[in-house]
Amino acid sequence: MSPEAMNPQKPLNFFSVLLISAAIVALWLVPVFASGSRVGNVGAGAWGYISIFALLLTIIAPMMYGWYSRDEPGAILVGVVPFLLTTGVSRIISGNTPQGIDYLVYSVIYVVLLSLAGGLEGYFAAKKTAESLLIALVLAGIWAGIFFSGIH
């Protein structure tokens, strides 16, 4: 029996995807609104731990959701949607729309690469084999590497 037959793909659970995505976006946004830490005289303080937790969750959520649900489309969405939404919202909050072609291209490539890595991470995790889990772990590492390449 093939691994696919042993681990049949589950249909898209839209509600779960929506719930997880909303939770991740909220975790990113709550510290900003709670502490006013985007810029200013008050830093993130203890809310900074929430930011770190949000980052970790953004990295592992596609893998966890994919592994436990075997919902391939859902896992891809969990890898793509929360960060895409968060970065989109961040542009609106900060008013930092990319200025200049260099930074615009850099920003687009940055977000596209992260979305790609996150989506593929979820996709491979949802296959629920040892090999695919390893690939998902590598992709999670790639995601973190790309993310920190944009944090100066």
State the residues that interact with other proteins by CB under 8 A: 28, 31-32, 35, 37-48, 51-52, 55, 86-87, 90-91, 93-94, 96, 101-103, 105-107, 109-110, 113, 120, 135, 138-139, 141-142, 145-152
In the complex, the smallest distance separating the C-beta of residue 10 from other proteins, rounded to whole angstroms, is: 22
* Shortest Å distance, C-beta 49 to other proteins: 8
At closest approach, how far in Å is the CB of 121 from other proteins?
11
* Residue 15 or 26 having the CB closest to other proteins: 26
Contacts of 6 (CB under 8 A, 6+ apart): none
- Listing DSSP states for the chain in one string gives --HHHHSPPPPP-HHHHHHHHHHHHHHHHHHHHHH--SSSSS--TTHHHHHHHHHHHHHHHHHHHHHHH--HHHHHHHHHHHHHHHHHHHHHHH-----SHHHHHHHHHHHHHHHHHHHHHHHHHHT-SHHHHHHHHHHHHHHHHHHHHT--
Which residue, 17 or 120, has its beta carbon nearer to other proteins? Answer: 120
CB closer to other proteins, 15 vs 41: 41
CB of 96 to other proteins, least distance (A): 4
Is the Cβ of residue 11 or residue 145 nearer to other proteins in the bound state?
145
